[in-house]
Structure 1
Amino acid sequence: MTPRRVLLATRIFAPESAAATFRLSALVRALTGRAARVRVLTTTVPPSLRGSRAAEPPARAEISRWPVLRDATGYVRGYLPYLSFDLPLTLRLLTARRPDVVVVEPPPTTGAVARAVLALRSVPYVYYAADVWSDATASMGAPAPVVQVMRLVERFALRGARDVIAVSDGVAERVRALAPRARVTVVLNGIDTDVFTPDGELPAEAPDTPYLVYAGTASEWQGAEIFAEAMREVVREEPGARLIFLGQGASWPVLQQIRDDLPEGAIELRPLAPPQEAAAWQRGAAAAVVSVKPGVGYDFAYPTKVIAALGCGTQVIFAGPGPAAADVAEHDLGRAVPYDISQVAQAMLAAVRAGSPDPAERARLVEWVHRNRSLAATGRAAAQVVLGPEVTQQPM
């Protein structure tokens, strides 16, 4: 049969290290593995990542990049940056060779643009719901009119989709509340077990003393600053302890202020790293730190940072509520603690003093990821939704 043409519209893609990058790259690989022709409409590579080997597109996929506005940390985040992607996307969707289906990554404004344009071309789209943006907007204390507009836009984007892929049961529940007739499939996030592995290089810039690592975006709902605050207690008892942040996000200015109040070198802020570099830092760490700030609308979130660290054989210190905290506690994947500075500090101290896990423990953590959160399985499940059962059930 004729190969299906799939268009993917996303403001974030490889080589930017983020949950969206991982799941979308897996989706592209799964689609091309089923002989689909995939074209990705995305943004130009951030200056800090230009020339990275991770910038190479997935096999057999065409990548079309467009310049956008980025915030001070290099992230496409905020109304103007979103607009700088969405407005050109209108023309890009109108002029692209007619696809069979389009996959749309949030924000909802991108979904709204896709619905309006694709309706003119009678092309269906699949909305990949990583979270519910209107809930997040409300939880961050945005003015009521802004929340109302965001909810209307998000509802418009969801209701027009042929299918919605939700990354968790919690997201699926909220999607159904906004769009009761939506056809929603839950596809849990995974991690690339060929990149995030215990075998490989360690960072040449790593400190000689035990260190903890936070790898990825530090946004409002994650509350990563709790680990920086906890370092005040940690370095009093273990002056050689180090905390490395690899990333960007709304918490960055606060992290810089706390870093400047601590002894030199206690906290290091480094730019967002491509997956291979992030994996190197994680496999050399005593533990990876991950958090979800309670009560801001993201208690259901499952940060991919957890799976990435475990794939490298590194235990996780998880602060906050949600399904990731439950997994860490139930399966002994590290330490799950409340979102409390003192308890977080004690968990960080214990990890620094214990050092890296032994080979047997690393193998156990890695096996858990392979068994439960392989990105290849995530990509295949998402591809089945995108292509539809009439395509994916055909013999290979």
Structure 2
Amino acid sequence: MRERRPTVAIATRLYPPEATAASFRMRAIADALSEDHDVTVLTTIPPHVAGAPTMHADERGAVTVRRAPALRDRSGAIRGYFQYLSFDIPVFFRLLATRADVIVAEAPPTTGLVALVAAWVKRKPLVYYPGDVWTDGVIAMGASKPVIAIMRWLESRVLRGSRRILSVSPEVTQRLIALGAEDAQITEVGNGIDTRVFSAEAEPQDAERPYFVYTGTMSEWQEPGIFIRALALLDHDVDIRFFGQGSAEAGLRALAAELAPDRVHFGGVVSPAESASWIRGAAAALVSIVPGIGYDFARPTKTYAAGACGTPVLFAGAATGGQVVRDGALGESVDFVTEQVSAAMGRLIEQAQSGHTDQLRQTRASWIDENYSLAAAGDRAARAVRAATGTTTRGI
């Protein structure tokens, strides 16, 4: 008689085919765990995808994905307190009904809290995988003091109650400790990108004019409007193409109409493969972090996606994100200053036209594959989950 494989339930709002850093991370840990666990992912129905249970498999094993509806805003994002709760409340009961020796929960902390309660009821351990620090995020967005206090309490409670916490970087680790996590609870697993999808071999998009590309979340703490303002100063016939969604999108559209009409295009949410294709064909990928508002520690996944395609990165903003670009010679890192950004855009266009970009493409892609493969991060995360399997949850 075959010995029962241990089971894991993963609670996450976002999962492929949605193209976000969080969904990529959760797919990677699910695939890695499926080698020796029966994995069930409890997630949402993304736009234009049916809600029936599905499975996906890689060479290691199969993962069952169970989808349920959740509230989304006009752009299709699950963002906002009511949207979060439309996932969190049902997922509590879904977790109770799902066999699991260990529960893995992705942010926000509201999801972490309901997963912690479910883990306590089931007498199973919780592994929390936050990606970043949500308290810092609400501070950066200018939330009121009561909202910040509630978020800090929620996040601290989830951190203290988790058996293991998975951190994507040393900077995030320090912020988690500041919020009440113990160093012994935390496993740094790193971050990265799926280099099977994002690679120098991706088929490049063929556009009428050269273009820069911005992919993923458009938010206040990224403020990608700096690239539109820089484009308006640029003496080159070049466009910017935005793919993704976010709270800053409406403002970006208005700014583009004012400063660079017909030169800025918004393509909405696209699949990872299509995103890779647009990145591969770009003169450079645009990445930004506004310095001094609480997100200086961030290392955006956009950087890894571009580097994996061999496309240079233009990073504007806080020092930590720029360090990755400098370490891998991935492109240009400048201050969050419009004139510096515009000058860097000009240099990158000239490098693309001269053939210099293509000469460095494979070198950049290889560096990302060696240092920031998401499969490797998923394996490290899976090892931490395996270590937690069979133990009891910490107190609520």
Partner of 1:394: none
**Rounded Cα–Cα distance in structure 2 between residues aligned with 1:180 and 1:228:** 40
1:337 aligned residue: 334
Partner of 2:394 in structure 1? Answer: none
2:322 is aligned with what amino acid? A
Amino acid in the other structure paired with 2:331: G
Is this contact kept in 1: 2:41–2:66, CA < 8 A?
yes
Structure 2's unaligned 5+ residue stretches are: 391-396
CA contact (8 A) 1:302 1:322 kept: no
What's the counterpart of residue 93 of structure 2? 91
Structure 1 residues 341-383: Cα deviation after superposition (integer angstroms, max 9, x where no partner) = 1111111122123226444311110111111111111111000
Q: What residue in structure 2 maps to residue 320 of structure 1?
A: 317
Report the Cα offset of residue 202 of structure 1. 2.5
CA distance in 1 between counterparts of 2:12 and 2:336 reads 32
Gaps of 5+ in 1: 392-396
Note if contact 2:159-2:181 (Cα within 8 Å) is conserved in structure 1.
no
For the 8 Å contact 1:14–1:57, the answer to whether it is kept is no
**d(CA) in 2 for partners of 1:143 and 1:331?**
39
TM-score, with length taken from structure 2? 0.92
**Of 175, 193, 196, which aligns to 2:195?**
193
Report if aligned partners of 1:40, 1:63 keep a CA contact under 8 Å in 2: yes
Name the amino acid aligned to 1:383. A
| Aligned residue number for residue 370 of structure 2 | 371
1:291 aligned to which of 288, 313, 319: 288
**Alignment partners' CA distance in 1, 2:88 and 2:199:** 36
The structural deviation recorded for 1:329 is 2.2
Q: 1:390, 1:250 → 2: CA distance?
A: 38
Determine if the alignment matches structure 1 residue 277 to structure 2 residue 239: no
1:85 Cα offset (Å) = 0.5
SS in 1 for 2:187: strand
Q: What does the per-residue CA deviation read over 1:80-139, in whole Å, with 9 as the maximum and x for residues that have no partner?
A: 110110111121112222x11010000000111111222111111100021111122122
Instruction: Look up the equivalent residue of 2:17 and give its one-letter code.
Output: P
Residue identity over aligned pairs, in percent, reads 41
Contact 1:286 1:357 in 2 (8 A): no
Mapped partners of 2:359, 2:85: distance in 1:
49
Q: For 1:214 and 1:264, how far apart are their aligned partners in 2?
A: 17
Instruction: Give runs of aligned pairs for residues 64-213 of structure 1, distance below 5 A.
Output: 64-97=66-99, 99-181=100-182, 183-203=185-205, 206-213=206-213
Q: 1:143-196, CA deviations, whole angstroms, 9 ceiling, x for partnerless residues?
A: 111110111111111111000001111111111122243600111111111111
What is the Cα-based RMSD across aligned positions, in Å? Answer: 1.8
Contact 2:102 2:389 in 1 (8 A): no
Per the normalisation by structure 1, the TM-score is: 0.92
Structure 2 distance, partners of 1:263, 1:318, is: 21
Query: How many pairs does the alignment contain?
Result: 379
Contact residue 314 and residue 357 of structure 1 kept, 8 A:
no
Structure 2 distance, partners of 1:248, 1:56, is 27
Determine if contact 2:351/2:357 at 8 Å carries over to the other structure.
no
What CA distance in whole angstroms lies between the structure 2 residues aligned with 1:231 and 1:360?
Answer: 25
